[in-house]
Amino acid sequence: MKRILVFTLSIALLASFTLFMAAKAQDKKNPDVQADETEDVKPDRDIIPHRYNKKGADAVTKGTTGVITPQISYHGGALIGTPTIYYIWYGNWNQTNGSDNPAGQQILRDFARTIGGSAYYNINTTYSTGGYNINGAVNFGGEATDTGSQGTRLRDSSIGAIIVTTLNQGKLPYDPNGVYFVLSSSNVSESSGFCTLYCGWHTAGTINSGTYAGQRLRYSFVGNANRCLNACAAQSVSPNGNAGVDGMVSIIAHELEEAATDPDPRTGWADSNGDENADKCAWTFGQTLFTLPSGAIYNMTLGSGTTLQRNYLIQRNLKYSAAGSTCNVSLTAQ
């Protein structure tokens, strides 16, 4: 009986090993599964995720008007007074799904060109301290395209590799005040939890290789919410007719203001739980909401009076006050 048991166990172990080796061989053949890589930029601070929307799409929440606790505080690190946004379009942004397309890209460009100086972004001026002046201005520095150098299944380390390669190729300039956004099309996954744990993230680190080795890099990943509207969008019918990209706008805004007020995570502004300013107001949209004929809801208009004017639904940000901080859509409105 013992011999039979040992023999059966040996056969099972051999079969498991054979399946494991076959899977490894398949991984090597699959361009969407990345091999272990030397990181081009290794984060030396935490990766701060933007948690997914637990209430699901079409549950637009106004949020509280009360003081938000615990209080946020400054930890002595760098701030970015005037950040410059850089976009890297990753994956296939020429699809026929109504979201990953040039019109969707234009929505995101228009946002980048109009967020600076807006009543919404000026909330971040309340974080000027330590010799750093956050003045409310934001620049749009340009864009580049990577159609899939890291495959369609990304790792956290892939995001740094995409940016460093783009910089080394001269497609974008290196900018110490830059915040580099890798914006993935909806056919791309991020294996650490895009759509299941988070909708985007930001971090910082030192570039390890290439022309800009030794330089600091502040960067973010935001995927097209069209991949998972119920997790990463607030509504399935949106102000600009592209629910996935409109969802991205809100996530990019969230990551941008955190990258300005806490560019090297948890060395700038964060609370005792490690939450940054926008984290404390995530997925709340304020007391004044407007409804378009399509049924889409919006809470602000950027670029008013210009050809870039658009309506957006963007999550609130934390307005800092020593007397008690609140979630706002502008310095004067909650």
Pairing assessment for the beta strands 178-184 and 153-154 based on DSSP bridges = unpaired
Q: Read off the pLDDT of each residue in 77-84 and give the average, rounded to a whole number.
A: 98
Q: How crowded is residue 131: how many other Cβ atoms within 10 Å of its Cβ?
A: 8
Global confidence as pTM: 0.89
Name the band, by pLDDT with cuts 50, 70 and 90, for residue 45: confident
- Write down the pLDDT at residue 186: 98
Residue 103 above 80 pLDDT?
A: yes
Q: Which residue has the higher pLDDT, 29 or 266?
A: 266
pLDDT tens profile 256-271: 999 999 999 999 999 9
- Residue-wise pLDDT for 116-143, tens only, equals 999 999 999 999 999 999 999 999 999 9
Question: For residue 152, is pLDDT > 70?
Answer: yes
The whole-angstrom separation of Cα 69 and Cα 50 is 18
Domain residue ranges of the chain, discontinuous segments joined by +? 40-328
Question: Average pLDDT of the chain?
Answer: 90
In angstroms, rounded to a whole number, what is the distance separating the alpha carbons of residues 219 and 142?
14
* Strand pairing class (310-312; 73-74): unpaired
Structure confidence by residue, pLDDT tens digits, 173-191:
999 999 999 999 999 999 9
The pLDDT of residue 43 is 79
Among 260, 249, 314, smallest CA distance to 286 is for 314
The confidence band for 23, taking pLDDT boundaries of 50, 70 and 90, is very low
Any idea which residue has 């949106």 for tokens? 238
